[in-house]
Amino acid sequence: MVARILKLTLAAVLLPLLLHSQSTQGVYLKIDYLDVDHTQLTEFKDRIVPQLKDHKNERLSSGHINSWTVYRVLYSGSGSMNYNYVSITAASSIDAFDEPNNNEPDQILNFSERDMYKLAGSELWRVRNSLVHEMIQEPSNFLMMDYMAVRLGRELEYQMLEDEVAKPLHEQRMERGNMEGWEMYQLITPGGIDYGYNFATGNYFSNLKHIEFGFNEELIRSQNPNVNLMEFFEHIWSTRDLVRSEIWQRIGFVAAHEGS
The total of structural domains in the chain comes to 1
Does residue 173 contact residue 219 with C-beta atoms inside 8 Å? yes
Residue 208 in domain: yes
Instruction: Read off the pTM.
Output: 0.83
Tell me which residue range forms the domain holding 232: 2-255
Residue 162 in domain: yes
Smallest CA-to-CA distance from 67 within 128, 121, 11, 140 is with: 140
Q: Looking at per-residue confidence, does 258 or 186 come out higher?
A: 186
Tens-digit pLDDT profile for residues 150-204: 999 999 999 988 888 788 888 888 888 888 999 999 999 999 888 999 999 999 9
Tens-digit pLDDT profile for residues 112-154: 999 999 999 999 999 999 988 665 668 899 999 999 999 999 9
Q: How far is CA 202 from CA 34, 122, 205, in A?
A: 19, 17, 10
Residue 60 in domain: yes
Residue 186 in domain: yes
What CATH number does the domain containing 186 carry?
A: 3.30.70.100
Residue 260 in domain: no
Calculate what percentage of the chain has a pLDDT beyond 90: 56
Residue 152 in domain: yes
Beta strands in the chain (DSSP E): 21-22, 28-35, 67-75, 85-91, 118-133, 142-150, 181-189, 199-205, 240-255
Residue 180 in domain: yes
Identify the three-state secondary structure at position 88.
strand
